[in-house]
Amino acid sequence: MSSPDLGIKDLCITSDGKVYENLKIIKKYEKQLVKLQRQLSHKGKRSKNYYKTKKKIALCHEKIRNIRKDYLHKVSHEIISENQVIVSENLQIKNMVKNHHLAKAISDVSWYELTRQLEYKAKWNGRKYIKIDTFYASSQLCSVCGYQNPDTKDLSVRTCICPKCGAEHDRNINAEKNILTEGLRQIA
């Protein structure tokens, strides 16, 4: 049973503590794309060099897409093959991308594609896939005693100590434990 908690720093963290890193593919190819796009802007429209440069840009985008897709397939395959039940948040990515400071990073990690792959691979392999409500307070609840701590709403707080039971939590690991607990509750 697994509940991958999706993030920007790391692609996801599963309930067994396995961390899948964010490859940050766009950052790796951004300089190359900027250079090619700058070259394209200096080319005469409809010239052979214009179309050659345009093709290079398309190939660069295709390479980014293929690297991302390959990595997401490997991650989703590993999660599905190791677990019978997968619990995930039903994130409203469309609304999250409206924040212009995070839009590029959110688009780069491809949360939607990962959850889509997990869902269809779970169905394909006879596994159970459960979506948790977007507004479930997974980061605010203490996974030990269930106390809801409003101080953890701030995203800059990475670790917290529960004022009720004194347990110390990493924000992401605590969230995925709470997502898993909620998924178990929905199954029962």
The pTM of the full predicted model, rounded to 2 decimals, is: 0.82
Tens of pLDDT, residues 85-134: 999 888 887 888 888 888 888 888 888 999 999 999 999 999 999 998 87
**Helical residues (DSSP H) of the chain, grouped into ranges:** 25-42, 48-82, 93-96, 103-109, 111-124, 171-187
H or E segment at 5?
strand 5-6
Residue 34 confidence (pLDDT): 95
Sign of the dihedral through C-alpha 160, 2, 71, 136: negative
Tens of pLDDT, residues 37-49: 999 999 999 899 9
Q: Which of 96, 115, 113 is nearest to 104 (CA)?
A: 96
Please classify residue 76 by burial: count the beta carbons closer than 10 Å to its beta carbon, then call 0-12 exposed, 13-18 middle and 19+ buried: buried
